[in-house]
Amino acid sequence: MVISLAQISDVAKLAGVSPATVSRVINGSAKVSEEKAKRVLEAIKATGFKPNEIARSLYKKSSRIIGYIVPSILNIFLNEIGRAIEEEAFQHGYKMILCNSDENPKKEAAYIQMLTAMNADGIIITANNENLDEEIRNCPLPIVVLDKEASGRYTAVVQSDNYAGGRLATEYLLKCGCKHPVLMRPPQKYSSGRQRFLGYMDVCKEHGIEPLFIDSPFNSNDGLRCSQELLERFPYVDGILAVNDMMVLSLYKVLLMQRRRVPDDIMIVGYDGIELGGLMTPELTTILQPIEEIGRLSAKIIIDQVADKTPDRQEYILPVKLKVRQTTRPPAESNG
């Protein structure tokens, strides 16, 4: 069962009940009178007894664990979501396990299999590959997919309003006087990237502005290359919509080498709203995703699913906000 018979017998002897009654109180597997349960709990406290969590998970088919699979632990945005997941999970008696896939579908599949074997109560996953639907097809656990559409078997999709984010960023640069805003276009194989691009394109069309963009990955490994390519292709750029906040660090370095000033020569709007944006110099104007809400909601969905409180296949699109800081000039200044 949950612990060895000798351990159970110690608690049972002190409480004056049978070992089976102790086991029922620990596992919640059957109703025990309030008076007996109180004696058992007092005996557990007095003996310093610690339940064996692994054995308990085998017995109850639950480990009180939520898995969080990310494509890269270097992504600060995903780390901040993970912190919110962990806080919400811990408040409800759950633990979170972080799994780093390195954008490798085989690693993602291996982690899903591992969490299933551990009797995890659910998985929260952000997968930067096209094989996600196949990977989760036969997984019996509740699954919450972050920041992308999923057409396969899942419990919920949680993402922010990427279309609105693309529009907000573009519209603000135009209000600030930009004539040639260039988008670092997110990967179009992901719904979040497509929606941001669509928001940018629609605003350009509405204002009669030529759309200018380069393809950019979400990870910042190629940040210097992408930044240099952008300035080479569009030397007249006066505003940049970064693919995410982390990419702005690379932008800063390349702009500094070319002696271009921010925001006097080129204005920048980031995306995500990580804490680092407020520590940059100059401080970053950015689109704030509701990071805390994304993480806590994702954990709560799984916790509620375990308690049979949440229906399958829910989709949540959370609002975004524009945070104006120092990498953009005020609209009044730009418009005279």
Pick from 297, 284, 306: which is nearest to 172 by CA? 284
**Higher pLDDT among residues 105 and 181, named by residue:** 181
- Token code pair at residue 91: 């408040």
* Contact of 284 with 328, CB cutoff 8 Å: no
**Residue 282 and residue 169 in one domain:** yes
Q: Are residues 271 and 301 in the same domain?
A: no
Is the same domain home to 311 and 329?
A: no
**Exposure b/e, 12-22, CB count within 10 A at least 16 = b:** bebbebebebb
Query: Any idea what the CATH number is for the domain that residue 51 is in?
Result: 1.10.260.40
Angstrom distance (rounded) from CA 328 to CA 167? 16
pTM: predicted TM-score of the whole model, two decimal places: 0.81
Does residue 58 carry a pLDDT above 50?
no
* Position 54 pLDDT exceeds 50: no
| SS3 readout for 17-48 | CCHHHHHHHHHCCCCCCHHHHHHHHHHHHHHC
Rg for the chain, CA atoms, rounded: 25
- 273 and 167 co-located in one domain: yes
Q: pLDDT band for position 193 (50/70/90)?
A: very high
**Averaged pLDDT, 48-69:** 68
Q: Are 252 and 146 members of one domain?
A: no
Instruction: Give the CATH number of the domain where residue 97 resides.
Output: 3.40.50.2300
Main-chain phi, psi angles of 240, to 5 degrees: -130, 130
| DSSP conformation class of 103 | T
Asked if the model's pLDDT at residue 333 lies above 70, the reply is: no
Do 43 and 169 have their domain in common? Answer: no
> What percent of the chain clears pLDDT 90, i.e. is strictly above it?
63
In angstroms, the CA 142 to CA 120 distance is 9
Pair (130, 167) in one structural domain: no
pLDDT digits (tens, 9 = 90+) for 213-250: 999 988 777 889 999 999 999 999 999 999 999 999 99
- Cβ-contact 112, 123 below 8 angstroms: yes
Q: Indicate if the pLDDT at residue 311 is higher than 70.
A: no
Residue 97, phi then psi, degrees to nearest 5: -110, 125
Q: Per the structure, how many domains does the chain have?
A: 3
Q: Are 139 and 93 contained in the same domain?
A: yes
> Could you tell me the two tokens for 89?
């999970």
- Verify that 327 and 223 share a domain, yes or no: yes
Last residue of a domain, one of 60, 80, 97: 60
Answer yes or no: is pLDDT of 123 > 50.
yes
Q: Are residues 189 and 72 in the same domain?
A: no
- Give yes or no: residues 152 and 273 share one domain: no
Q: Are residues 96 and 154 in the same domain?
A: yes
Domain that holds residue 131: 65-159+291-317
